[in-house]
Copies of this chain bind each other. A is one copy, B any other.
C-alpha cells in the first residue's frame, strides 16, 4: 500500500476556477446536455489548465460502477496463453476497460488468493483460465459474488457459466486422420498429464484410430508436462520404442517444439524422418525449425471472443449461457 499522488487537483478546484459549482463540473465532464456550450467550454478550459484528472476510484464508488476487468491466467510461459491475453486485453481496452491481470502458474492456492483480491477491488467481470485442480464449484461461487464470469480453455465441469474454448476432440481427430491417411500406423501421443483438455484431445486420437480399426497401444501415450521439456523427454522415449513409431500427435505446439528439438538431438528432422503435429497454432509455429503442422484454433481471436462474451454478459446479465468454440483447422506445414 502506498501513499497516493501528492496534490491532485479535484473537481472542486476546477469548479472554483470556472466559477461554477462542482455539480456543474461533473455534468460537463460527462458531456451532459444540461449544460450550455459556453459554460461547458469555460469548465473544460479550467480543467485543462489545471491539469485535472478524474479520480475513477471516487467516481465509481459513488456511481456503483467499475471499469476494471480481472483476467487470471494459469500459464503465461506458454505463448498460447500469452496470445490469448493479448487478444483479451486488446478488446477490453478498446471497450474502455482496464485489465487487472494475475498469473497463477497452475497453483490453485495462488488462484484463490488473487481471485479474492480482485473481488475486493470490485472488478466488473472476470475472465478465468483456470489452474489444474480448480474445483468445479468455483463458477457457482463466483456467480454468488455477483461477478460476471467467463471461463476459458478448460471447462470446469457442468454448470451454467459462459465458456470460450476449442473443439479439442475434433481437432485432434482430424490431425490423427491426416497421419493415418499418410500411411502412419504407429502414432504416439506426446505430453499432457491431466485435465479435461487432455481427455478431449485423447478422445479425438482414439476415435481416429478406431476409424482405422487400430487397437490403442497404451505405451504410445506418453504423459508429461505440456511444455518444451515434456515434449523433448517424451519424444526421446518414443524414438526408442519398437516396433518403430513414425509419427506423433503433440498435446500442444510447445510440446511439439520440444519434440522437434529431441529429433534434432537424434539426428532426425520432423517432416523428413518423423511426422509431428501440434495443437493451437501459436505464432511461433509458422517459424519453427521446421515449420510446424498444427491444429489452428487462433489463440488471439479466442481471447477476443472471450472478452466479447464477458462484455455481452455485463451488458445483459440475463442472457442465456454463452459458449464460443473455436472451430479447429488443420494446418499442414512441414513437420507432417
Question: A residues within 8 Å of B by Cβ?
Answer: 1-8, 53-58, 60-61, 63-68, 71, 76-77, 79, 82-83, 85-86, 89-90, 93, 96, 98-103, 105, 110, 113-114, 116-122, 124-125, 145-148, 228-229, 231-232, 257-258, 260-261, 263-265, 269, 283-284, 286-291, 314-315
| Complex CA–CA separation, A86 to B90 (angstroms) | 19
| Complex CA–CA separation, A66 to B119 (angstroms) | 15
Which of B120, B122, B228 meets A283, CB within 8 Å? B228
| Complex CA–CA separation, A80 to B99 (angstroms) | 21
Closest to A263 in B: B289
Asked if B314 and A289 sit within 8 Å, CB to CB, the answer is no
Within 8 Å CB of A64, what residues of B?
Answer: 3-4
CB distance from A226 to the nearest CB of B (A): 13
Instruction: Provide 29 A-B residue pairs closer than 8 Å at the C-beta atoms, listed in order of the A residue.
Output: A1-B60, A1-B96, A1-B124, A2-B67, A2-B125, A2-B148, A2-B314, A2-B315, A4-B66, A5-B122, A5-B146, A7-B146, A54-B120, A55-B61, A55-B122, A76-B86, A77-B83, A77-B283, A89-B102, A89-B103, A93-B117, A98-B117, A98-B118, A228-B286, A228-B287, A257-B288, A261-B287, A261-B290, A264-B269
Given A2-B65, A57-B57, A83-B77, verify A289-B287 contact (CB < 8 Å). Answer: no
Asked if B229 and A258 sit within 8 Å, CB to CB, the answer is no
| Complex CA–CA separation, A260 to B60 (angstroms) | 51
Which of B57, B67, B289 meets A1, CB within 8 Å? B67
CB distance from A120 to the nearest CB of B (A): 5
CB distance from A217 to the nearest CB of B (A): 27
| Complex CA–CA separation, A93 to B110 (angstroms) | 10
Asked if B287 and A229 sit within 8 Å, CB to CB, the answer is yes
Asked if B122 and A4 sit within 8 Å, CB to CB, the answer is yes
Asked if B314 and A287 sit within 8 Å, CB to CB, the answer is no
Closest to A77 in B: B283
| Complex CA–CA separation, A284 to B227 (angstroms) | 9
CB distance from A192 to the nearest CB of B (A): 17
Within 8 Å CB of A117, what residues of B?
Answer: 93, 98
Asked if B76 and A103 sit within 8 Å, CB to CB, the answer is no
Asked if A261 and B77 sit within 8 Å, CB to CB, the answer is no
| Complex CA–CA separation, A57 to B119 (angstroms) | 11
CB distance from A336 to the nearest CB of B (A): 15
Which of B85, B103, B121 meets A56, CB within 8 Å? B121
| Complex CA–CA separation, A116 to B103 (angstroms) | 24
| Complex CA–CA separation, A3 to B5 (angstroms) | 27
Which of B2, B122, B261 meets A124, CB within 8 Å? B2
Within 8 Å CB of A124, what residues of B?
Answer: 1-2, 4
Closest to A63 in B: B1
Within 8 Å CB of A148, what residues of B?
Answer: 2
Q: Max chain B CB contacts within 10 Å: which of A71, A76, A118?
A: A76
CB distance from A98 to the nearest CB of B (A): 5
Asked if A289 and B65 sit within 8 Å, CB to CB, the answer is no
Which 9 pairs from chain A and chain B are nearest by CB?
Answer: A228-B287, A2-B124, A101-B101, A5-B146, A264-B289, A261-B289, A6-B146, A2-B314, A1-B65
